[in-house]
Amino acid sequence: MKRNTSRKAEEAYLAETLRVVRDNVWEYGQEVAKMQEDIDEMLEHYHDNDAEVLTILNNTVTMHTHMKRALERNEKALKKPYFGRIVFHDEALNKEESLYIGRGGIAKDTTHQMVTDWRAPVANAYYENGLGKCSYPVPDGQQMEIELLLKRTYEIEDAKLIDYYDSEVVANDELLTRYLAKNKKAVLGEIIATIQQEQNEIIRKSPYHSMIVQGVAGSGKTTVAMHRISYILYNYEERFQPEDFYIVGSNRILLDYITGVLPDLDVYGIRQMTMEQLFVRLLYEDWDETYRICPVRDAGKDGAVRGTLAWFEKLQKFCSRVEWNTIPRTTVLFNRKQFVEGLRDGRVGVFDESGGKNDPKDMVVLMTGEAIERYIRQNPSVSAQSKVLMLQERLMGKVEDEFLGKGISYTLEEKKAIRRSMRKRFGARQWKKSVYEMYHDFLTEQKQQGVCVEEPQEELDVYDLAALAYLYRRMRETEVISEAHHIVVDEAQDFGVMVYAVLKECVRSCTYTVMGDVSQNIRMDYGISDWEGVKNILLTGERDNFCVLRKSYRNTVEIANFASDILAHGEFPGYGAEPVIRHGEAVGIRQTAGRDLYREAAKICKGWQTDGFDTIAVICRDQKQAQETAELLQKELPVMPWDPEKASFEKGIMVFPVEYTKGLEFDAVLLLSPDRESYPIDDGHAKLLYVAATRALHRLEVLHTGNLTGLIADPIPKRNKKRADDAGRRTAPGDQRSTGSGAPVSRTAGRAEKTSDTAQTSASGAKKKVVIVQNPPGGQEAPLPYGTGAMQESADARSAGGKTQGSAHPAAAAPRPTSAGAGWTSRPKPVISGQPQKALHPLASLYGSNSQTAQGSGRAVGSRQSAQAAGRTVNGTVQPRVTGDMHASTASGVLSFGELPDTAKLRAAGHAKIDHSIRWVQRKEDGLYLQSRYGVTRLSPVGSGILRVTFSRGEMPPVHPAIAVTRVEKNWQMREKPTLVEMRTPEMYVVADKKTGALRFLDKDSEILLEESRQDRCLIENAPNGGRSRLFFDWKKGEGLYAAGALGKGGIHLEKTARCISHGVENELPYLISDRGYGILLASSKEVIFCSLPVYGNQICLEGTQQPDYYIIVGKKLETLLKACAYLCGKL
């Protein structure tokens, strides 16, 4: 069954592969040299005005870079072209396939792949699956079924086959143990071959969701993060480029170490920075270079205050209060009699003729104080400066409206005088205080309230910088600048929760991979001791993940046990490590005379070098001791000098303070003079010494002059002994809760996890359960906005004793009560009345309903079917959640109403920047035409409160067959300004931004209802069955959105979700209703998907069309919106 698996066949394939690699190296080398000659020649003859040569030059440089990378990949493959092989039977093709897996792909020609890249989807079978029936994911989200017949791992050195192993790559297999026993340089070279299943799951998770990874020391957190970046760039190249990533580390030495790893993973151009540097970047032009940055270690005792979420919330309240008190909120009006052009004292001008009286008939109200306050409250995410600019823009628009309506009443000079009086009504274009002045005011206020914090003078630490970055974002930002799309934070436990709260606010539309270990929090009072706060900030999406890596691959069992005993002296909960069973020498503890300390240290290091260890670290308590130690050791042997500005990770003997070793590992480590003064017995110093001890791969020695720290010398306290023994069998508080059956069920950020039935053995020999993150298949549970079924179901559950049959969690089983008006906020609340037994379609009351009662054959309130609809437990079985009118998908893959779409449909195709800027404006009989380079937008008033919006890159589409109204309203006005185009009907006001083309829809009182995204308002894609259109909107935070169901059925509540909102029938159009007083009727009978997930953008995706066509309906009452929809569809 397993053909060509003999050693002779393997050696023949290796020889053939190496021949192909050598040929590629020669060919690519020739191409690189030729391209370089072409580039040099073009540069020599290039002139600034020669656009054609410049284009050719840029293309050649790009090809040269790609070819050079291909050459480097093949040169690296000369010694070891691959490390693994899988043989499988392809169920779809009904044939046997054999694939060799390596660090990079190697092709003989365009059709013959000799080696498959480890990042390819099919390679997942090598890391994840045992022999037999299995599957691997393919790009369209499907699973490819295969039968794995062989999994083979190779040991190849210098292009020679040493051995191979026919076994699954598991934690304790012979091959992994042999790799881990090598020195550090050799281990780094074999990482890709030895990626473990739990690491592979993290590497291959979607980049569109955030994750936090709690990994014990030596679990490969940094390595996994770097491989994850490489995987994402390989598999999502249309959406992610190297410049879309930031790698954030706790210090420069760690970042330098990472820099050395990335090129081996075929990753170039990733931006790396410390957290301090990131916040400086986020200050943009407001950064004052006269300040110096002090590392997080110098944050001082008040870091315990400034690193907390409570501190961030105080800063938020301070900003809101300053904004509220600074922006004028009184009604804006003027007296016409105060602006009268005339002659006075022989001088022509505009004079005040009011005589100090404000006659009501002369007063003109431009903006009410209530409207100003409402705008401020409804836009919490907009900076104060942007609010000022927007309010000022609205005010000047109102002034122009007054002139337009009373054009004869005002002379040119009177208009100028009125404009001048209103020009700075809300403040200047630049916020009057700098971020540093506001930070000073904030700290002063906190001191007055009794909070003792030191105000920075010349140096700023990470918490100062975070606060300044937030102040810039919240108060002074006028333009949203796109930063990273994915941020990787290593050693994340070093930063307080306040840092992550600021990051979330300042870097929007971004996902995160956060790696850390709370047991290595050496920041004493102000790092992270548990992940709950960070989870609540970053893991807000339905499919965000919290993962745990418990296996430690770094240390020998002897070193791991020694480090665990140090940690056991602390009084804090932790995540127990499970070391891979690899034995080595016992940890050495030596005492020497003080005068012989450095001579003895040099002797130990020389011995390790003789044994062949490449990287050796002498770890000291602080920088002062490290500098002194390096200077004294240099008298005995070559040692790299300690300099925090120049220190780097290199081969040889290095001296480091313990805090600079975070994230690093060495073949051998010497802990120098860990005495009781340097490491007293407390939680913080236990973690600090634990970090130092766990840096060692193979050898660990402790050298002291007496007075050895009690963390090593003293026995583990009895109260901690059992906790230390059980550490490998328990999960930190907050990560597990027991079900009625006793099986642990992990809960993270509101999502369920399940516990694998596969038991693993800890170092102490105890069996334990492995926690595997598993997200629910559905979206967020939502109430039906147009009925009371959910309320009735809740009542039924309560009447049954507070729990559903088969559930072990009464609280979890009972659904939350919801009302028909749920989610409707500041506007007059639409009220839907009806019988409790019915879930009415919003239009049913207008043109008849065929809905069935709870006793009929429809969805029965409180019945088994109702429980299924909410995803409850019925007769002990968890049923899938169904919301609204959910039908099974058809064989063609078309979604039914309420179904969750595949993420591939949510992901916009890669594209260059789209130019939506308006080039010309024209009024025609059928509406207002706005022309851009990308296409034409037509605004056609169908009624005083109904506007048809159509986009086309050619002829305009006809009216949809389901729309009965074809007339165009004639009573509308338009006006073109230098930066804006305005359109007004009796009930609606539309503003088009000329720069971005984005539309803003307002009611007759100029209150904003809906805005298109200014980034990409519309995107047209090529796709089967007629193409695809995406409409991007800026829905407001907290805005209640509902999709109307088919006739007689309940709709669905849409909140941070993605759902199909179309019905699959010609005469039933998708209708989206907002509690802000508008509706969107989509003129499409094909599949329409709503999405409000930040990672994909707020959008409506219309399948089967490249001419998006929809109707905006305005109405403060729900009844108005429903009647307008029925009117359009001819059902009134």
Burial group, residue 805, by CB count within 10 angstroms (0-12, 13-18, 19+): middle
Contact 211, 512 (CB under 8 A): yes
Mean pLDDT to the nearest integer, 1094-1114: 91
Q: Is the pLDDT of residue 744 over 60?
A: no
**Is there a contact between 426 and 328 (Cβ–Cβ < 8 Å)?**
yes
Structure tokens, 524: 């004493």
Phi and psi for 420 in degrees, rounded to 5?
-60, -40
Are 264 and 258 within 8 A, CB to CB? Answer: no
The lowest-confidence range among 377-381, 659-663, 722-726 is 722-726
| CA distance linking residue 14 with residue 16, whole number of Å | 5
Answer with the residue of higher pLDDT: 565 or 805.
Answer: 565
pLDDT band at 311 (very low <50, low <70, confident <90, very high): very high
What is residue 308's DSSP assignment?
S
- Which pLDDT belongs to residue 606? 93
Kindly indicate whether the domain formed by 556-729 is annotated with CATH number 3.40.50.300.
Answer: yes
DSSP 8-state code for residue 1117: S
Least confident range of 90-99, 555-564, 898-907: 898-907
Question: CATH number of the domain at 224-304+433-549, out of 3.30.420, 1.10.10, 3.10.50, 3.40.50?
Answer: 3.40.50
Q: Which of 117-121, 481-485, 516-520 has the lowest mean pLDDT?
A: 481-485
Top-ranked range on mean pLDDT: pick from 45-54, 295-304, 545-554:
545-554
Q: Where in the chain is the domain with CATH 2.60.40.1760?
A: 914-1128
Q: Are 1085 and 1066 in contact (CB under 8 A)?
A: yes
pLDDT attached to residue 184: 55
871-880: pLDDT as tens digits: 333 333 333 3
pLDDT confidence of residue 48: 61
Q: What is the Cα–Cα distance from 795 to 204, expressed in whole angstroms?
A: 43
Query: Per-residue pLDDT averaged across 591-610, rounded?
Result: 92
pLDDT value of position 620? 94
User: What is the Cα–Cα distance from 512 to 489, expressed in whole angstroms?
Assistant: 8
Give which of 295, 296, 225 is closest to 267, Cα–Cα: 225
Domain with CATH 3.40.50.300 in the chain: 556-729
pLDDT at 536 over 90: yes
List, in sequence order, every residue forming a beta bridge with 951; answer none if it has no partner.
937
* Mean pLDDT, range 840-854, rounded to an integer: 37
Structure confidence by residue, pLDDT tens digits, 317-363: 999 999 998 899 999 998 888 888 888 888 888 888 888 888 888 88
Give the residue, 579 or 734, on which the prediction is more confident.
Answer: 579
pLDDT of residue 655: 92
pLDDT at 175: 58
For residue 1002, the model assigns a pLDDT of 94
- Per-residue pLDDT tens digits for 81-140: 999 999 999 887 888 999 999 999 999 887 889 999 999 999 998 887 778 888 888 766
Mean pLDDT is lowest, of 187-191, 407-411, 1016-1020, for 187-191
pLDDT tens for residues 16-35? 999 999 999 999 999 999 99
Question: Of 264 and 620, which is predicted with more confidence?
Answer: 620
Q: Looking at residue 3, what is its pLDDT? A: 61
- If one compares 738 and 958, the residue with the highest pLDDT of the two is 958
- pLDDT digit string (tens) for 621-633? 988 999 999 999 9
Residues 824-839: tens digit of each pLDDT: 333 333 333 333 333 3
> Would the CA dihedral through 529, 533, 536, 538 be positive or negative?
negative
pLDDT at 810 over 70: no
Contact 1078, 1084 (CB under 8 A): no
Mark 1005-1023 as b/e (b = at least 16 C-beta within 10 Å).
ebbbbbbbbbbbbbbbeee
Q: Which pLDDT value is given to residue 747?
A: 31
User: What Rg value do the Cα atoms of the chain yield, rounded?
Assistant: 34
Instruction: Round to whole Å and give the CA distance between 811 and 802.
Output: 7
Alpha-carbon dihedral sign for residues 178, 179, 180, 185: positive
Lowest-pLDDT range of 403-417, 554-568, 600-614: 403-417
pLDDT for position 400: 86
Mean pLDDT of all residues in 182-207: 76
**Amino acid 467: pLDDT:** 96
Average pLDDT, the chain: 79
Instruction: Summarize the confidence of residues 558-575 as an average pLDDT.
Output: 85
CA distance 1094 to 781: 18
| Closest CA relative to residue 618, chosen from 646, 598, 596 | 598
* pLDDT band at 855; cut points 50, 70, 90: very low
Please say if the pLDDT value at position 792 is more than 50: no
Q: Which residue has the higher pLDDT, 46 or 1040?
A: 1040
Give the pLDDT band (50/70/90) at residue 727. low
pTM of this structure: 0.61
Taking residues 410-424, what's their average pLDDT? 88
- Concatenated DSSP letters of 907-969: SPPP-PPP-----EEEEETTEEEEE-SS-EEEEEEEETTEEEEEEESSSPPPPPTT-------
**Bigger pLDDT: 68 vs 815:** 68
* 835, two tokens: 């019988």
Reported CATH class of domain 914-1128? mainly beta
Residues 165-172 have a mean pLDDT of: 56
CA separation for the pair 333, 402 (Å, rounded): 11
Residue 898: left (phi > 0), alpha (psi -120 to 50), or beta? left
Identify the pLDDT of residue 1089.
Answer: 95
Query: Tokens 């003109």 appear where?
Result: 364
More confident residue, 207 or 432: 207
56 vs 855, residue with greater confidence: 56
Which whole number is the average pLDDT over 484-507?
93
Q: According to DSSP H, which parts of 379-526 are helical?
A: 384-405, 412-422, 435-448, 462-471, 497-506
Pairwise pLDDT comparison (472 vs 138), residue with the higher score: 472
pLDDT of 527: 80
Strands 696-704 and 751-761: unpaired
**% pLDDT > 90, the chain:** 37
Query: What number is the average pLDDT over the span 503-527?
Result: 86
Q: What is the mean pLDDT of residues 440-456?
A: 89
∠131-137-143 over CA atoms, to 5°? Answer: 80
Give Cα 665 distance to the centre of its chain: 29
Task: State which of 178-192, 485-499, 962-976 shows the largest mean pLDDT.
Answer: 485-499
pLDDT mean over 644-668? 83
User: Which run of H or of E encompasses 490?
Assistant: none
Q: What is the pLDDT of residue 911?
A: 66
Of 634 and 187, which is predicted with more confidence? 634
Arithmetic mean of pLDDT, 1018-1035 = 88
- Residues 279-294 have pLDDT tens digits of 999 998 899 989 998 8
β pairing state of 545-549 and 211-215? parallel
Q: What is the pLDDT of residue 2?
A: 47
Residue 590: band (very low, low, confident or very high) from pLDDT cuts 50, 70, 90: very high
